[in-house]
Structure 1
Amino acid sequence: MTSRELATISRSDLDSLVSASATARITEFKQLASYSWCDKPTATISVPGSPPLWSPPPKSSLPLDPDSGTVYIDQNAARCPWSPLEPLFRALFIMNPDLDLSDVDVVTDRNNIRKLLRFVQASSSDPFRIRVEAVAGRGDGRKGTALFTRADPESVETIVGFKGYARNFEKAYTKKRGGIGTTGYHRIVGYNFGGLRCVVRCEADGYVGDESADDGLLSAAVRGLSLGSSSESQETTTATGLTILTSGHKEDVDVSSTIEIKTRAASRTLDMDEAYGQLWVSQTPKLAVGYHRRGVFTDVQVRDVAGDLARWEAVNRRPLEKLAGLLARIIDVAKQTGGSGRAVVEYTGGSSLRIVADDNGQPALPKDLYAKWANEPAQLGETPAQDSGKVKCGNLTTKEEVSKLLIPAGTPFASDMEYAIQKGPRQFFVRLPGNISDYHLVCQQLKSLPVETLDKVLKGWSFTLKEIMADFQKGKEDWDPEERQTIGGFKTVARDAAFRLVYMLLSGQAEAQDKAMAYNAAFFVVSHSRIFGVRTRQMVRAAFDDRFSETPKQRAMMDQWTKAWPIEDVSGENETTDDEPFYSSDDSDYW
């Protein structure tokens, strides 16, 4: 399916995007947070981060080995593929818990800004993609924030052939501190640029300092991260599976000491314009360049480039004005997308890039982090559900009763759970995207709830496949021979039961161990389009396949009913029956 194009921007358009009132300089710079990836089999970060110390070895005529093996292109995407931005926000709110995101226009990696700057300067024709999502608070008039996520084709690379000495040079000329096994130090900085308030993540290769003087600072952080050795240390794991090792020690390495490390053959010179552009985005003030002859590094230069960056900024005023205008235009287009508020910036070479809708793209963040923008999370273009506070019919509760529900503040998917209590667990099919990973997360979170709370969310916590099938049957229409008329089914009862089936399958409930009966239940949902909407049928099938894996025969049977599933939202096909106590647009047959 061709993506819906939202805008095309050519280089000739950039002059018209420049704002006369915006200053194309970085001002009000501040380091906000840092973290390091830990060398562990599961996704684990330490906060604050622990960068390597610049520590040149004694001079030697021995050559370094060329880089080899598997290396990271984007470590955040490789270790945290469900949300590469999640570790950024986790570290940010640990070290700056009172940060007001309503003042932030864009959150991005340095790499994304560099790609857009190269487009502005026409210095590269390499293709790239950047995912953009616009988020804002519910109905509070706030301007909202755009989240830029890298979308590189690969997050790791296996080196084939000769690719230089950069990584082995870093290992030889830096020293990891305190014995922590880390594989990447990331800084998170904030500043104003071109009228935009930016939060930028960048990887730093290390820092320059006195080894003995820095022992106190870093060893304190290390002690805090040695779990059990400090009352201030803490280990937490998010609903997505990201483990965070937090120290009570929140001091970070001073930004003025951070360093970028590069290598070049002695016969070549470093492209300083490209290097300054990279250092400018992150405001990295020091640069180390190692020049080598066949791997022997005899000329290693360390420079303070803060003054050079200021001069580079002044010389490149016009390209930077265009960059600011381009960023603002991308943000505006994403905000006007409607629906999910998600888009993709695509560049395939030439003199223009385009922005296309990403309606089916995965959310940039886990559910709980969206709540940081306002009282309730909402994406731009989404209409918040209104609650009148009146008593509903059937099992639905009042707003006052919901307020008494003991779902701890900050619980992932809390707003979705509360909404399910009001209108039934079928609402998870409406509010969650069509990704099985999201349903895994919400089911695991539901499983951790007290029994009384789970009973309210699922409208019953003790159920069997036989009982679920009985509820499915209630959704079917029937012919009454005496009244000589069709008796409508209770679709909402059947749809609520469909989510209970998903919960049984994904949370590992023993009641779902009978594969044959579970298949019959899943097949009933998939094959009854007059009762269940597209999203419900898709997710029930995905949950069954996730738990048991479809046999070839089962897959063929399922496929007969799924070939004609619509791709677009068919929310206009709303229908209900007189037997249902009330109708809500949330009960669209799409779900």
Structure 2
Amino acid sequence: MAKKSSDWLTWHLKNSTLITEIFQNELTIPDFDCTQLNNYEQIGSYSWSSYSRPYNPIIVIPGRPSVLIQNLQSLVSQHLIFNSEQSIIDENRFYLHNHPMEPILRTVPICSPKFEFSKIDFLTDRNNLRKLLDFVENKTDRSFIIDFQKVGNFILMVRNEERNLGRDNSFGKDFENVASLVNQGYCGHRRIVTYSFGDLNFVTRFEVDCVEDDDLEFKEDDYFRNKLKFSDKSKLSYIIDGKFRPRVLVELTSRSKTDFPVKKWAQMFFSKTDYLVIGRHRDGILNRIQKLSFEQVTHILQNRKNIQPTMGRLNSLMHKIKELVKDENCVYSLVYDYSNKSMKFCKLDNHQPYLPNDLIEQFSNKNI
């Protein structure tokens, strides 16, 4: 018998204590501006090595992202390959199931040694913010779970997915391959940024499809000689390759219809992605390539021009979560059940910390 989505929620909430329920219509709009991300800075990056395994996770710092090709119009009339293979939904959770947020706290001190985590309120994946925005806008179309753990001055927001593997069933993956130059041996490039959203400060991690640069260097497969360990308390290994620097970020997507990929707006907003490239195709044959700035995407989506009410409520939701996550010795969980449209906030009993002990000791001593 196939596993029901509700079974996933029930299993997660087993041995938990309900603290409260959260309702979208109870969220207020603050007086201060929540329409911009202020004090934005790229502070770190890494790529997952293609040699990574759950028992042997390896990241490359700062890593090498794919690079957008210069002549996008040359892709017109190209035939894309349909992809129906399984792929990893969240590499961070797949390779580091118990400590998926660890790479952020390991990577940033190497890429940006002067960065101070003591000034941060939330450390999260962009995916979590997109799910909470959908809840605030009453546009959530599936159940989701986000876990929380307080570590010193900041709160980890931990992404959960029902499955580790999923099927794309589209031409999107091949469009990413033909529209960018890919480094062999590298996969899943992550950027880590910091910004202020309203009166709250975030460190946000997200996957980057490609960047707009022309200095791509292909890497050979002999870099394992330089593999290092962060700590004897961590399973994660790393390789230093290159120097970190900010990049122009590009999101890639393909569409067979004339509809606009509306969900890409939030994806771009919460990471300050610069461009969206859309490959329009018919039966897999590309017939039009669009390259749009974030401002152009916002202009096309008329309902995104006045976002203060929506983003203000999201800011209020983040404040509510911050008030509820009080105990550093506990893991909390926000569970949205699509079947009955309920949002429950719970404390999980006997849940292991989401960071290795050495990082908990480092960031819990208030001397960050």
Query: TM-score, structure 2 length as denominator?
Result: 0.86
Cα RMSD after superposing both structures: 2.6
The equivalent of 1:20 in structure 2 is 31
1:155 to 164, 178, 190: 164
Aligned length: 345
The equivalent of 1:489 in structure 2 is none
The equivalent of 1:276 in structure 2 is 265
| Aligned partner letter, 2:46 | Y
> Against the structure 1 CA distance between its residues 323 and 376, is the aligned structure 2 distance closer, same or farther, given a 3 Å change threshold?
closer
The equivalent of 1:106 in structure 2 is 122
The equivalent of 2:5 in structure 1 is none
Structure 1 or 2: more strand by fraction: 2
Which of 304-313 and 18-27 deviates more?
Answer: 304-313
CA contact under 8 A between 1:206 and 1:258: conserved in structure 2?
yes
Structure 1 or 2: more helix by fraction: 1
Secondary structure of the 2:98 match is coil
> Against the structure 1 CA distance between its residues 57 and 173, is the aligned structure 2 distance closer, same or farther, given a 3 Å change threshold?
farther
The equivalent of 2:238 in structure 1 is 244
2:284 to 292, 295, 300: 295
The equivalent of 2:110 in structure 1 is 94
1:37 to 44, 48, 58: 48
The equivalent of 1:119 in structure 2 is 135
State the alpha-carbon separation in 1 of the partners of residues 336 and 365 from structure 2: 36
State the alpha-carbon separation in 1 of the partners of residues 260 and 32 from structure 2: 35
State the alpha-carbon separation in 1 of the partners of residues 313 and 251 from structure 2: 26
Post-superposition CA distance 1:341-376 (Å, at most 9, x none): 311000012554110111322211111112332547
1:97 CA drift (Å):
2.7
The equivalent of 1:130 in structure 2 is 146
Aligned residues: percent identity?
25
Post-superposition CA distance 1:490-528 (Å, at most 9, x none): xxxxxxxxxxxxxxxxxxxxxxxxxxxxxxxxxxxxxxx
Where does the alignment leave 5 or more consecutive residues of structure 2 unmatched?
A: 1-13
State the alpha-carbon separation in 2 of the partners of residues 95 and 237 from structure 1: 15
Post-superposition CA distance 1:237-275 (Å, at most 9, x none): 54332110013x4232x33x210001110x331233x22
Post-superposition CA distance 1:529-582 (Å, at most 9, x none): xxxxxxxxxxxxxxxxxxxxxxxxxxxxxxxxxxxxxxxxxxxxxxxxxxxxxx
State the alpha-carbon separation in 2 of the partners of residues 235 and 339 from structure 1: 30
> Against the structure 1 CA distance between its residues 65 and 86, is the aligned structure 2 distance closer, same or farther, given a 3 Å change threshold?
same
Q: Does 1:3 align with 2:16?
A: yes
1:191 CA drift (Å):
0.3
1:96 CA drift (Å):
2.1
State the alpha-carbon separation in 2 of the partners of residues 305 and 83 from structure 1: 33
CA contact under 8 A between 1:184 and 1:203: conserved in structure 2?
yes
The equivalent of 1:330 in structure 2 is 321
CA contact under 8 A between 1:101 and 1:372: conserved in structure 2?
no
1:227 CA drift (Å):
5.8
State the alpha-carbon separation in 1 of the partners of residues 63 and 210 from structure 2: 11
CA contact under 8 A between 1:24 and 1:324: conserved in structure 2?
no
Secondary structure of the 1:171 match is helix
1:99 CA drift (Å):
2.4
Post-superposition CA distance 1:469-493 (Å, at most 9, x none): xxxxxxxxxxxxxxxxxxxxxxxxx
CA contact under 8 A between 1:10 and 1:351: conserved in structure 2?
no
1:57 CA drift (Å):
8.5
The equivalent of 1:340 in structure 2 is 329
Greater relative contact order (Cα 8 A, min sep 6): structure 1 or 2? Answer: 2
CA contact under 8 A between 2:34 and 2:311: conserved in structure 1?
no
Where does the alignment leave 5 or more consecutive residues of structure 1 unmatched?
A: 137-143, 378-591
Query: TM-score, structure 1 length as denominator?
Result: 0.55
1:367 to 352, 357, 365: 357
The equivalent of 2:182 in structure 1 is 176
The equivalent of 1:197 in structure 2 is 201
CA contact under 8 A between 2:118 and 2:366: conserved in structure 1?
no
State the alpha-carbon separation in 2 of the partners of residues 307 and 169 from structure 1: 21
